Structure 1
């Protein structure tokens, strides 16, 4: 069902419509870096309709009590938001030979998905694909990361990144997350041509792009429209939704031309 926010304030002001939740594309993935219950309640009160997936990031979930983590996951689910566990602690589980236990525990706690990445651990492509299959067998969806945190060099070989994505898809990954570092973070200029090279090979609906600054978000939405899936921070959710709705950074004339 399409929604033009008719149930929100000032319904007479037209905005660009887009599908209501549950969406299959144009997903907003929000990074939760250890938010407390009160902060989460405030966020959901204002932005729940615009968040599709909560990414429990940087391994901060390892510092929370099991009760708090479960309550947070339940709160997201009540708001129609899926949850996936990401971050360095999941890589520590791999190094310690605890991946199977990690996946089973994540599923038991109510997580919908996990991330397979190699920000800290040295991991071969075969290792990552084995983890994707293991997590899938445990009943979890998998977000597999393409690229390498802390390095810009990974963008020098588009062919290898395409090979990564293909391998992840063959192994059963739900989505492939394209790392921002090296594309829009820690670079002199945004590497749009590299992103377009990926989009020329794969449907952007099967990808998630990290976009933690306004310029990157504008580029992705302007280039791919509302089908693009973006990974943003919690304070950026409303900004991104305004951009998707044609209100922010585009201008009223463009908006009216598009929906009039």
Structure 2
């Protein structure tokens, strides 16, 4: 069914216009059914929080994502737990055994200095594709706008493939206030002189997603998307929802 004029979408293996879903324990059978129908809309799969450490069938899950050309990685909380317990070497070894090619370096829970994160990225980028993250899971911590921008650029320069802006799976921290409202002034200033095609905005709800789609276009990178929302998000990107009905046919808008 291709007779409407809709915004053009990048196709897999896309470098931007990425949808990164969050898997918080989806059963294998359910996952297989969802991916069979909607895998073309999903690029990256985060096995969220520390779930990967206690998932009984983690090898099967990783294999399944790879079969559908989706890049799996483990959430930053597990990285931080390993960092805290000084077990990063064991963590890295396990990722290699499992065939995981992506790693997140975050400081959402721990206060890991930017200098230390840059050092880790420079080391890890030799063996992995690195995802950096900016922002805290603590709604009380309010990073100055200038620091958001500086950190994003420094993480990208250090070798991160993408930088994730913290939003939590609840959408109540980082780039959102505690009530779940996007900090639009932060987004406006933060994205000036930043390559937004290499920024993944955590947007766990359709309301969050539509804000970024209307601000930056159909091919904005979005993360922490619920697995079951992959199809709805794709419809939103194509202007097939009331809130994105008049979306322009553009690849990616300039910052706000």
Equivalent residue for 1:236?
A: 229
1:192 to 184, 194, 216: 184
Equivalent residue for 2:156?
A: 169
Does residue 208 of the first structure (1) align with residue 196 of the second (2)? no
Equivalent residue for 1:135?
A: 124
Gaps of 5+ in 1: 1-9
Query: TM-score of the superposition, structure 1-length normalised?
Result: 0.86
Richer in helix (by share): 1
Q: For residues 140 and 182 of structure 2, what CA distance do their matches in structure 1 show?
A: 12
Q: For residues 185 and 71 of structure 1, what CA distance do their matches in structure 2 show?
A: 37
1:63 to 36, 54, 60: 54
Q: For residues 226 and 131 of structure 1, what CA distance do their matches in structure 2 show?
A: 33
Q: For residues 258 and 195 of structure 1, what CA distance do their matches in structure 2 show?
A: 22
Q: Work out the number of aligned pairs and report it.
A: 244
Q: For residues 212 and 34 of structure 2, what CA distance do their matches in structure 1 show?
A: 24
Secondary structure in structure 2 of the residue aligned to 1:107:
helix
Q: For residues 62 and 166 of structure 1, what CA distance do their matches in structure 2 show?
A: 31
Equivalent residue for 2:146?
A: 159
Q: For residues 82 and 24 of structure 2, what CA distance do their matches in structure 1 show?
A: 19
Secondary structure in structure 1 of the residue aligned to 2:46:
strand
Tell me the C-alpha RMSD between the 2 structures: 2.1
Describe how 1:30-179 pairs up with structure 2 within 5 A: 30-65=21-56, 68-137=57-126, 139-155=127-143, 157-179=144-166
Query: TM-score of the superposition, structure 2-length normalised?
Result: 0.87
Q: For residues 185 and 241 of structure 1, what CA distance do their matches in structure 2 show?
A: 26
Change (3 A) 1:163 1:41: same
CA deviation string 1:31-58 (max 9, x = no partner): 0112221121121022101001011111
